[in-house]
Structure 1
């Protein structure tokens, strides 16, 4: 199911929303950086007109900071260019309320431009927009849906530095075992999950199913298909803000870390995608179960680009704790029909709903860059009429699976991204340099840090 076409975002439409919320004195303006962290400013409501005319001015380098908020010195945006400003212009769903805020407030996504009005190539939303335009030039429209997993934790987990599951809010039992799809656990967390659902509705986020997953305190929210990858990515970005904000309001902590507990399931960001032609026909549908040649071309392109795309799909050191053998996450560049052990799955469905599911990305990844990497791979396969290897059968996680291994460490993923030739044609040189610089800087900093487990293991014996 896809959302219906939405009206375009204009100053007049934003003013109408503002009129519906007379108590909201302030507006949060949000811009997504390369790590998927929302940055921006809080402005008074009477500054709305100026934001639509001039945009929100911020240094362009703000979108290219490392995970700790430090400048990435090799990104070409600080010392070489004088750290100039960009202008963040409203985009996405426009003004929406912030239901978890104690004081009435509105928020709005923005996308950064250069001051001359051209797209700022290091804005991850702009990177996705550029690839979507290439699909449109071929008369094709990607239809995208996502599934996001996350953990709810005890509210003091960040303060104490010790992540731990909360107790069941009603019965008080310990979350000490997986309770996948347990309806009783949905009932236990009804207050926070219903508030997440209500906040999604208030912000026009098309949430569908909410389910209990395999981890202790782990849940999943499914977002409906949208015939606009930019809006689909907006929805995923804003869902993460909803979960964290609502959880905090209920005395909990919500996290999208890929692997917050070493002995529990990781959290993924699974993406479903089909392609429509100008007449609205699904070009992956051949009337049967196999799908069209175009589907196989797309699969082949994604298989080919998976190694150099891993840094966008798994962008943090912790991401690779999820990508270990036996952890129910893909570690090979594989595809299959109705097989959840493959990286790319063709789900069982009616022919008109023929699509692929991309199962590699972690929930910690930037949704804009995830979709950009996936769609770049698909487009590469379509443009080159690439042919995929044979689909895997049986256990795609097995060591003897007939598929090439993927980078499964932060270091090898950074190297594969920097050395990649295909993704560079779609991301552009400026984005490749900026994202690579951010991740290499993070990797080198983490190499210098000695962990508690190293002290516990070695200090008393060596």
Structure 2
């Protein structure tokens, strides 16, 4: 603990030397729906926290619904006295915030690694899965890919408008993969990439996607799963801020247009032993097949994680490359689990089902739990799509069915934690019911 405190204190002091105009730092963590919560600390107080002073926030901040309200979940929120819980600073995450009007810093905080971690905190859920894998001699290497849309900053009666092409001032309303769109939107995209790099995120490939105003950002591969998920979470925050600075809205909403492709969160995972050997490539790739089988078996029972809201279910099967069944294939983007072409050293799975607005910590935890389940069970998967285009198993396509399917599955409860599963499922059920408590214009038109 003394060593960690001295490291954190040195990080804070170095930050102050390089950014003397920063007076406040946002201490932030991701809640269950994937939103940041936290507190804004004076930089002087941050030094005290780094030196070992307690850092406490309400435990139930993790339980917030999508709109920020609290739901009654067991005894949490309304029958537990709303207790505080300890958090700790995440080393290496103190960075400047360049998209605000005033100089500011931000730093991740978490309950994992404290004496009493919050069992349903997303980062803690992932930390437990990674720790269990490490004890088995399994070391994941992970890379996220995130799709997002740019919209005009101004909404039209609450509805999004196409982003304006900076060169022609026309709406970028044509679906296209043309690389010229990267040039036309280069000012905002370059700022997003540089800002992410300033946050310590390894940005690699930028792609103009098929939807109008849609882009994809790839991150570098990491042998630290927690850090990989940190990158995905922090990128979403900085990208929204940079977009507003340039007169746009950036959104990771899963399906903003019914007629255009949705936005996904693609996760590449390879598994290595302590000597650096790719476990999936051993024995003529038999472990790869077992891992795929486990992923597909648990996938239907993790749908509230992969599709975390009503809109995310709209993305499934609506347009290109979004499956409606649990399936896999070699070099096949119609599959939930794709095996990209690679040499044995880099053999990996690409999990393509999650929506871009899913919680990256929980998505990775669910994927790794599926891989672990498959390696333990050593079962053969169903036929790949390359052999049978009808291959696949059904999964829930609405939230209430998905919650019921997730909550009762013994392997999901074991691998992700029974307390987390109960809390998460109830949070999603309550969120979904709250979403339904509004009568839309269409409902009046149909039934008035």
Q: For residues 66-88 of structure 1, what are the alpha-carbon distances to aligned partners after superposition, in whole Å with 9 as ceiling and x for unaligned? A: 11111120243223422111122
Q: Distance in 2 between matches of 1:313 and 1:378?
A: 15
Q: For residues 376-404 of structure 1, what are the alpha-carbon distances to aligned partners after superposition, in whole Å with 9 as ceiling and x for unaligned? A: 111111122232122222785xxxx1211
Which runs of structure 2 are paired with 1:347-366 in the superposition (5 Å)?
347-366=340-359
Q: SS state of the match for residue 22, structure 2?
A: coil
Is 1:126 aligned to residue 119 of structure 2? no
Q: Distance in 1 between matches of 2:375 and 2:419?
A: 24
Q: Give the unaligned 5+ runs of structure 1.
A: 1-7
Q: Using a 3 Å threshold, how does the CA distance of structure 1 residues 340 and 247 change in structure 2: closer, same or farther?
A: same
Q: Which residue of 1 aligns with 2:101?
A: 102
Q: Which residue of 1 aligns with 2:427?
A: 438
Q: Which residue of 2 aligns with 1:3?
A: none
Q: Which residue of 1 aligns with 2:170?
A: 173
Q: Distance in 2 between matches of 1:185 and 1:68?
A: 34
Q: Distance in 1 between matches of 2:67 and 2:86?
A: 23
Which runs of structure 2 are paired with 1:18-33 in the superposition (5 Å)?
18-33=16-31
Q: Give the unaligned 5+ runs of structure 2.
A: 1-5
Pairwise CA RMSD: 1.8
Q: Which residue of 1 aligns with 2:61?
A: 62
Q: Which of residues 10, 13, 30 is equivalent to 2:11? A: 13
Q: Distance in 1 between matches of 2:391 and 2:313?
A: 22
Which runs of structure 2 are paired with 1:43-442 in the superposition (5 Å)?
43-52=41-50, 53-91=52-90, 93-112=92-111, 117-157=115-155, 160-180=157-177, 182-286=178-282, 292-393=285-386, 396=389, 401-442=390-431
Q: Distance in 1 between matches of 2:213 and 2:387?
A: 30
Q: Which runs of 4+ in 1 moved over 6 A?
A: none
- Bigger shift: residues 318-327 or 196-205: 318-327
Q: SS state of the match for residue 49, structure 1?
A: helix
Q: SS state of the match for residue 124, structure 2?
A: helix
C-alpha displacement of 1:160: 3.8
C-alpha displacement of 1:292: 2.0
Q: For residues 75-134 of structure 1, what are the alpha-carbon distances to aligned partners after superposition, in whole Å with 9 as ceiling and x for unaligned? A: 4322342211112211153211112122111110110259x7222111100000000001
Q: Distance in 1 between matches of 2:195 and 2:436?
A: 40
Q: Distance in 2 between matches of 1:143 and 1:440?
A: 33
C-alpha displacement of 1:411: 2.1
Structure 1 contact 320–408 (Cα < 8 Å) conserved: yes
Q: Distance in 2 between matches of 1:113 and 1:353?
A: 30
Q: Distance in 2 between matches of 1:103 and 1:341?
A: 45
Q: Which residue of 2 aligns with 1:5?
A: none
Q: Which residue of 2 aligns with 1:4?
A: none
Structure 1 contact 324–408 (Cα < 8 Å) conserved: no
Q: For residues 236-257 of structure 1, what are the alpha-carbon distances to aligned partners after superposition, in whole Å with 9 as ceiling and x for unaligned? A: 0001011101001111111100
- Bigger shift: residues 214-223 or 410-419: 410-419
Structure 2 contact 261–319 (Cα < 8 Å) conserved: no
Aligned length: 442
Structure 1 contact 99–202 (Cα < 8 Å) conserved: no
Q: SS state of the match for residue 102, structure 2?
A: coil
C-alpha displacement of 1:324: 2.9
Q: Distance in 1 between matches of 2:361 and 2:444?
A: 38
TM-score normalised by L of structure 2? 0.95
C-alpha displacement of 1:175: 1.7
Q: Distance in 1 between matches of 2:88 and 2:235?
A: 21
Q: Distance in 1 between matches of 2:150 and 2:445?
A: 28
Q: Distance in 2 between matches of 1:258 and 1:179?
A: 19
Q: Distance in 1 between matches of 2:55 and 2:257?
A: 39
- Bigger shift: residues 325-334 or 375-384: 325-334
Q: Using a 3 Å threshold, how does the CA distance of structure 1 residues 388 and 37 change in structure 2: closer, same or farther?
A: same
C-alpha displacement of 1:174: 2.3
- Bigger shift: residues 324-333 or 367-376: 324-333
Q: Using a 3 Å threshold, how does the CA distance of structure 1 residues 120 and 300 change in structure 2: closer, same or farther?
A: same
Q: Distance in 1 between matches of 2:370 and 2:391?
A: 20
Q: Using a 3 Å threshold, how does the CA distance of structure 1 residues 352 and 403 change in structure 2: closer, same or farther?
A: same
Q: Which residue of 1 aligns with 2:3?
A: none
Q: Distance in 1 between matches of 2:438 and 2:379?
A: 43
Structure 1 contact 171–188 (Cα < 8 Å) conserved: no
Q: Using a 3 Å threshold, how does the CA distance of structure 1 residues 12 and 223 change in structure 2: closer, same or farther?
A: same
- Bigger shift: residues 22-31 or 165-174: 165-174
Q: SS state of the match for residue 101, structure 2?
A: coil
TM-score normalised by L of structure 1? 0.92
